[in-house]
């Protein structure tokens, strides 16, 4: 991107306030969290066994909501958890699998969180939600209850004409935090329409009296030039160009004094500090904090060579965000044990299938890890 160096040279001198993992007061003490939320993505393959355990932890820790960053079911092949819970000797035609896969997600994953009213669950769209015969229109229709949750509908009303129509990108505010769900599930994104909407959301957040102290963006594929660039928006030209632009917009919001955080999944591992890369470091010393958390059940990837210390694979779990009074957020990994999965398994989930998913649900070789 030709203009990036010039753009960063203008804003790199801005004052940054508590942008990394917490807010430190005058006495060196980290502000106590006011409330927490949970986020992860990629629950295909074994998510029917993993997501109930995530739901149990989220409810036990009294997180305010759970945010799923996409890839609910595999769609291009049958998920092993779904097959394991079928009655013995009952074959499943592939077309029948595709017809029931999203219903299975609702029945064996979202249902674990309880009713729409009891535990808010927010959904992002992943690339496996675009596999034929699945469509954008079908996605909106099937998950209308989640995409039009009261929080989202109220925000849409507040935004008025500038609000997003019912669909896979939206935002909502809780306290002083604006949570933005972006859709980069297909290679037609980021579209002009989504970019115009996002620019409007950020412009309103940056107004002096907005009340917004923090911005958290969640999406399926990571923005370009991250430590997960082997499997991210770097993979297609429009994604590379628009993803770079979106990163600079979030950087700009951070430079203006907002706490900004970028979350993605798509790669099936946990990775912190993903924008601490030579590419983004050449423009500024303060990158936007970012994480990859694709650990909700999908076949697990090997870590890339670029992953920093603290990255983990061959795990299941979620990221918990602890929001402080000033809007700063401390993120920590919540890892699940096999016992967690066993304690929350559905009655029709065979014990040996749950064990197999915990032990062996991984790619056999590194070159398989980007599928």
Minimal CA–CA distance to 152: which of 112, 123, 195? 123
Distance separating the N- and C-terminal Cα atoms of the chain: 28
Distance CA 19, CA 300 (A): 30
Answer whether residue 236 shows pLDDT above 90.
yes
For residues 318 and 4, the model is more confident at: 318
For residues 314 and 32, the model is more confident at: 314
The two structure tokens encoding residue 53: 């355990």
Residues contacting residue 151 through CB under 8 Å, at least 6 positions apart: 120, 172, 174
Answer whether residue 10 shows pLDDT above 60.
no
The two structure tokens encoding residue 327: 């809007």
The two structure tokens encoding residue 161: 């004409």
Minimal CA–CA distance to 202: which of 182, 232, 175, 222? 182
Answer whether residue 185 shows pLDDT above 70.
yes
3-state SS, one letter per residue, for the chain: CCCHHHHHHHHCCCCCCCCCCCCECCCCCECCEEEEEEEECCCCCCHHHHHHHHHHHHHHCCCCCEEECCCCCCCCCCCHHHHHCCCCCCCCCHHHHHHHHHHHHHHHCHHHHCCCCCCCEEECCCHHHCCCCCCHHHHHHHCHHHHCCHHHHHHHHHHHHHCCCCCCCEEEEECCEEEEECCCCCCCCCCHHHHHHHHHHHHHHCCCCCCCCEEEEECCCCCCCCCCHHHCHHHCHHHHHHHHHHHHHHHHHHHCCCEEEEEECCCCCEECCCCCCHHHHCCCCCCCCEEEECCCCCCECCCCCCCCCCCECCCCEEEEEEEECCCCEEEEEEECCHHHHHHCCCCCCCHHHHHHHHHHCECCCHHHCCC
Residue 284: pLDDT band with limits 50, 70, 90: confident
Distance CA 84, CA 371 (A): 22
Q: What local confidence, expressed as pLDDT, does residue 32 receive? A: 67
Q: Which CATH class name applies to 4-9+34-362?
A: alpha beta
Residue 211: pLDDT band with limits 50, 70, 90: very high
Answer whether residue 1 shows pLDDT above 70.
no
Distance CA 250, CA 237 (A): 20
Q: What local confidence, expressed as pLDDT, does residue 158 receive? A: 96
Average pLDDT score over residue span 360-368: 67
Q: What local confidence, expressed as pLDDT, does residue 116 receive? A: 74
Burial class (CB in 10 A: 0-12, 13-18, 19+), 314: middle
Q: How many residues does the chain have?
A: 371
Domain segments of the chain as ranges:
4-9+34-362
Q: What local confidence, expressed as pLDDT, does residue 15 receive? A: 33
Answer whether residue 233 shows pLDDT above 60.
yes
Residue 364: pLDDT band with limits 50, 70, 90: low
The neighbour count for residue 336, using CB atoms within 10 Å, is 20
Burial class (CB in 10 A: 0-12, 13-18, 19+), 362: middle
Tens of pLDDT, residues 13-69: 333 333 333 333 333 445 667 999 999 999 999 999 999 999 999 999 999 999 999
Q: What local confidence, expressed as pLDDT, does residue 368 receive? A: 44
For residues 54 and 12, the model is more confident at: 54
Q: What local confidence, expressed as pLDDT, does residue 349 receive? A: 97
**pLDDT over 70, % of the chain:** 89
Residue 290: HSE in the Cβ half-sphere, 13 Å Cα cutoff: 31
Per-residue burial over 199-214, b if 16 or more Cβ lie within 10 Å, else e, is eebbeebeeeeeebbb
Residue 287: HSE in the Cβ half-sphere, 13 Å Cα cutoff: 19
Whether the model clears a pTM of 0.95, i.e. scores above it, the answer is no
Report in angstroms the alpha-carbon separations of 109 from 30, 73, 199, 276, 357: 35, 10, 33, 33, 15
Q: What local confidence, expressed as pLDDT, does residue 365 receive? A: 45
Average pLDDT score over residue span 284-304: 96
Answer whether residue 192 shows pLDDT above 50.
yes
* Mean pLDDT, the chain, integer: 91
Beta-bridge partner residues of 334: 318
Residue 11: pLDDT band with limits 50, 70, 90: very low
Average pLDDT score over residue span 248-275: 98
């Amino acid at each position: 991107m030709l203009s990036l160096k010039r753009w960063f040279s203008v804003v790199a001198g801005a004052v940054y306030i508590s942008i990394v993992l917490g807010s430190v007061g005058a006495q060196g003490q980290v502000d106590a969290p006011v409330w927490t939320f949970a986020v992860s993505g990629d629950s295909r393959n074994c998510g029917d066994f993993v997501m109930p355990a995530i739901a149990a932890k989220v409810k036990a820790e009294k997180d305010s909501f759970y945010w799923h960053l996409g890839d609910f079911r595999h769609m291009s092949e049958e998920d092993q958890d779904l097959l394991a819970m079928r009655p013995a000797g009952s074959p499943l035609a592939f077309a029948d699998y595709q017809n029931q896969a999203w219903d299975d997600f609702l029945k064996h994953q979202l249902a674990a969180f309880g009713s729409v009213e009891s535990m808010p669950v927010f959904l992002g769209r992943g690339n496996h939600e675009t596999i034929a015969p699945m469509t954008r229109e079908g996605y909106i229709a099937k998950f209308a209850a989640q995409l039009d949750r009261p929080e989202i509908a109220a925000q849409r009303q507040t935004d008025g004409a500038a609000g997003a129509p019912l669909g896979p990108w939206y935002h909502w505010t809780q306290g002083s935090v604006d949570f933005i769900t972006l859709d980069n599930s297909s290679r037609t994104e980021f579209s002009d329409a989504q970019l115009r909407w996002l620019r409007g959301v950020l412009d309103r957040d940056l107004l002096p009296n907005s009340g917004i102290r923090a911005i958290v963006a969640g999406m399926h594929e990571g923005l370009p030039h991250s430590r997960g660039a082997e499997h991210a928006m770097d993979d297609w030209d429009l994604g590379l160009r628009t993803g770079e632009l979106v990163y600079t917009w979030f950087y700009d919001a951070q430079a203006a004094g907002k706490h900004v955080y970028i979350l993605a999944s798509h790669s099936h591992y946990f990775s912190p500090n993903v924008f601490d890369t030579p590419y983004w470091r050449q423009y500024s010393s303060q990158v936007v904090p970012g994480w990859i958390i694709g650990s909700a059940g999908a076949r697990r990837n090997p870590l890339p060579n670029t992953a920093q210390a603290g990255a983990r694979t061959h795990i299941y779990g979620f990221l918990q965000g602890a929001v402080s009074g000033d809007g700063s957020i401390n993120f920590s990994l919540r890892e699940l044990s096999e016992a967690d999965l066993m304690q929350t398994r559905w009655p029709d989930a065979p014990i040996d299938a749950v064990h197999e998913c915990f032990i062996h649900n991984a790619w056999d070789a590194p070159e398989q890890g980007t599928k």
